[in-house]
Amino acid sequence: MSVQTVRNADLIVINGRVLTMDQTRPTAEAVAITDGLITAVDDKTTIEALRGPDTKVIDARGGSVVPGFIEAHMHLFSGAAELAHLQLSGIHGFDALREAVLAYAAAYPNQRMLVAQGADYTILGSERVTRHHLDAILPGRAFLMAAPDHHTYWANTRALEMADVLRGRELTPGNEIVMGADGLAEGELRENEAFNPVLKLAGEERVRLGLSTGGEPDPMPSAEERAGDRAIMRRGLDWCARHGITSIQNMDGNFYQLELLSEVEAEGDLICRVKIPFHYKNFMTPDMLDKASTMAERYDSEWLSSRMVKLFYDGVLDSWTAVMIEPYADRPDWVGEPLFSPEEFKRIAIEIDRRGLQIAVHSIGDGATRAVLDGYEAAAKANGKRDSRHRVEHVELTTAADIERFVDLGVIASMQPPHPPGAMSFPLEPTVSRIGRARWPYAYPTRTLIEAGAHVVFASDWPVAPIDPIEGMQAAMLRKPWAHDMPDQSVSLHQALSGYTVEGAYAEFMEDRKGQLKPGYFGDLVVLSADMEATDPALLHEVRPVTTICGGRVTYQA
């Protein structure tokens, strides 16, 4: 008679309040991982029996143990680079702005151009920022600062001159260099074509190629430059792991990012699973989707993959570049300009879908959301209905008529809990007035979509908003209506956690391998400093990742 032996686990987590997100077994006390996979989720005694002399033991000390957070919409390369920029979140008023900029300028005396991030549209109150404000702070050095949404930048005169845009230049629809009555640029630059020539002066063009053009570096970087870019990627991956993130769905991409991450993986430093899309721009032609198909074929592992095409249909509300069905409340002659015509988008959606690739489209205004849904409907009719899981990114505005279409078409709503004005760090104005009260009931309609039966996945859009999933969950749970007669769009703790785990896995066709803690799933989990279920939602932000584990490997330890 043979005796069956049970192999000792490589790693066990004990004494935890395990929230598995597995409906068949919602809670447990401990987890075991072997060869990068979860082998058992059970009570402490059962898991302790799998402990051997070489087993690594993590004591959760009563804190929550949850599936690794899946960041379903972020910008890894540029976000990592921006960690070194001047951060203006929370800065208000000219004097405070001046003090922050001058201190940063003094710290970097030899930098060709200074770049700042996170400047609220209302950083000067009701007064719109111009180059003259920035000249009064820093007249002799090029300076550029970005709004949190990264769709508007403001440059001083020196920066505009160096980029040769002070007198404007011709741009395609949806992009604008705001011009003054004197025929010179006022300093406000809306969308990529307007600000890319200025941003290029910062010497970080490669980190934004996946967002700005979807193209590759030309010329290709030297070995030293490439090593520097890998270091930036590592900085971003470390930042993610520090916040409990084990999977990243990037929302810009090119071959270069995949190559860098492949090199990082070969060096043993790929500590998050990463999905990189092909970014299709409105100046491209459909044959360029061959590149998307090649990216999908070449990179298709559990650690590094593609199989997605990202597009932008419109801009953002605060710069009037989002596309609306009816005019803006504070600009009654304007509905915004789409980056694709509705018919153009239908054609490209049909072609991407025909290739079996997933589509993710930045869509802010209700007009954009409708056009994107129309495109997905056209693709299903042309190619036959399949489990495509196409996505609408942001869904900041929609209509009652289009809510049900998310369910009917099987479209994922990719939403960012930090984004609704007043929910976290973004101010109410000018956004709520720009939307207009008549549209408030279907603004950032998180709970409405969930209750309708749509798949809703959560993310930060880092570096647009802070990357922290726990702060994102808190924002989703504590969100308040803008008026007493508006729908409540807040969610429960379980719904918020699902948005960063189960739904994130579903969004990348990996619900059978990640997003839950159950045997056979990836050994991706986070040990938190406290029991989330026992924590007052108002204090949830104080709960911190203590240990992040990805593929059975500890990637962050507090």
d(CA 93, CA 125): 7
Strands (E) in 284-382, as ranges, are: 304-305, 308-312, 358-363
What's the pLDDT tens digit per position in 171-193? 998 899 999 999 999 999 999 89
- Rg of the Cα trace of the chain? 24
Longest CA span, the chain: 94
Q: What are phi and psi of 39, to 5 degrees?
A: -110, -20
Q: Which DSSP letter does residue 52 get?
A: -
Q: What are phi and psi of 188, to 5 degrees?
A: -90, 125
The answer to whether the beta carbons of residues 219 and 256 sit under 8 Å apart is no
Give the pLDDT score at 192.
87
Q: What is the distance of C-alpha 542 from the center of its chain?
A: 22
The residues facing 362 across adjacent strands are: 312, 393
Query: CB neighbours (10 Å) of residue 438?
Result: 9
Give the pLDDT score at 425.
82
d(CA 354, CA 390): 13
What's the pLDDT tens digit per position in 81-113? 999 999 998 999 999 999 999 999 999 999 999
Q: What is the pTM of this model?
A: 0.92
The answer to whether the beta carbons of residues 255 and 298 sit under 8 Å apart is no
Residues of the chain under the 70 pLDDT cut? 1-6
The 3-state DSSP class for residue 325 equals: coil
Q: Which DSSP letter does residue 104 get?
A: H
Query: CB neighbours (10 Å) of residue 301?
Result: 9
Give the pLDDT score at 4.
47
Give the pLDDT score at 5.
54
Give the pLDDT score at 6.
66
The answer to whether the beta carbons of residues 312 and 323 sit under 8 Å apart is no
Edge-to-edge strand ranges of the sheet holding 545-550: 27-28, 17-19, 64-67, 525-528, 545-550, 553-557
Sign of CA dihedral 420, 421, 425, 426: positive
Work out the burial of residue 144: count CB atoms within 10 Å of its CB; fewer than 13 is exposed, 13-18 middle, 19 or more buried: buried
Closest to 84 measured CA to CA, from 109, 112, 114: 114
Q: Which DSSP letter does residue 488 get?
A: P
The 3-state DSSP class for residue 491 equals: coil
Q: Which DSSP letter does residue 231 get?
A: H
d(CA 507, CA 229): 28
Give the pLDDT score at 3.
40
Give the pLDDT score at 497.
98
